[in-house]
Structure 1
Amino acid sequence: MTTDARHPREPHFAGWRPLMWGAAACLLSLPLIAMQFTDEVNWTLSDFVVFGGMLAVACGACDVAMRKGGNWRYRAGALLAVGTAFLLVWVNLAVGFVGSETNSYNLWYAGVLAIGVASAFIARFRPGGMAAALTATAIAQATIGLVAQFSGMDHPWPATVVFTGLWLVSAALFLAAARSGTRSLS
């Protein structure tokens, strides 16, 4: 089989795209199915729109990272960062990190994501810059958790440790990609 220079052959993982998007669609349908069997799940249209938007952004970011990323370290770092961001938003919207989901202190976690996204754009998605961006994101996550903990707020500190660790593992993967000479998304 030959490839056209204008349309290079897609990487071997291209078959995962339909699987990823299909899994997202299935995940979005689970609350609707659960609502048929229990009154404990009661989603509104806005819940489905928000969750659908979250899934679309996460899957789109993963799709871009898999197609445009350099080596496996860069891709793994990107997938871990996207997954961690997705979980951060999901957990915060569902139950909140500090008290309940209605506690305004939980809005600080949007700052964690803002730092990560802004830093990634400033770094132009280059592996070394992404390592720094994810390290800054980890520091923001840990700082908010420590402030909540020492302020006497109802805060599950193990969640802070887990999320901080995930950001740092992602940063380490990007650093490894930078050391191996991986190119950035372009």
Structure 2
Amino acid sequence: MTFQNKRLTGILLTVVVLLLIPFFAMQFTAEVNWSAFDFIVAAVLLFGTGLLIELVLRVVKKRNHRIIICLGILAALFLLWVELAVGIFGSPIAGS
């Protein structure tokens, strides 16, 4: 197995582990109430972000450019996640 394949496996396993957190939390408390659609959206966002960062790591050669682009991708994920969770910007995608 090559290094790139190991990174892709790591991305997939990370997404699965992150999604297991709310899944198990739902078993113990009523405070966490995710539907199947929530899990699908979260999986697409997390896996898509991981793949986009993997693409940047494979294509961009300069280390500083890699870091800046990856931070931008993570910032976009964070802002979209917050918007979907609480509608901080009041956009239509948050149901506001």
Q: TM-score range by the shorter chain?
A: 0.7 to 0.9
Give the distance between the partners of 1:107 and 1:84, measured in 2 at CA: 20
TM-score w.r.t. length of structure 1: 0.44
1:50 matches 2:41: yes
For structure 1, list consecutive stretches of 5 or more residues without a partner in the other structure: 1-9, 99-104, 109-186
Secondary structure at the counterpart of residue 49 of structure 1: helix
RCO greater where, 1 or 2, for CA within 8 Å and sep 6 or more? 1
Q: How does 1:31-180 map to 2 (within 5 A)?
A: 31-98=22-89, 105-107=90-92
| Counterpart selection for 1:20 from 5, 8, 11 | 11
Greater C-alpha radius of gyration? 1
Secondary structure at the counterpart of residue 53 of structure 2: helix
Q: Deviating runs (4+, > 6 A) in structure 1?
A: none
For structure 2, list consecutive stretches of 5 or more residues without a partner in the other structure: none
TM-score w.r.t. length of structure 2: 0.81
Q: Output the amino acid matched with 2:45.
A: M
More helix by percentage: 2
Give the distance between the partners of 1:52 and 1:18, measured in 2 at CA: 15
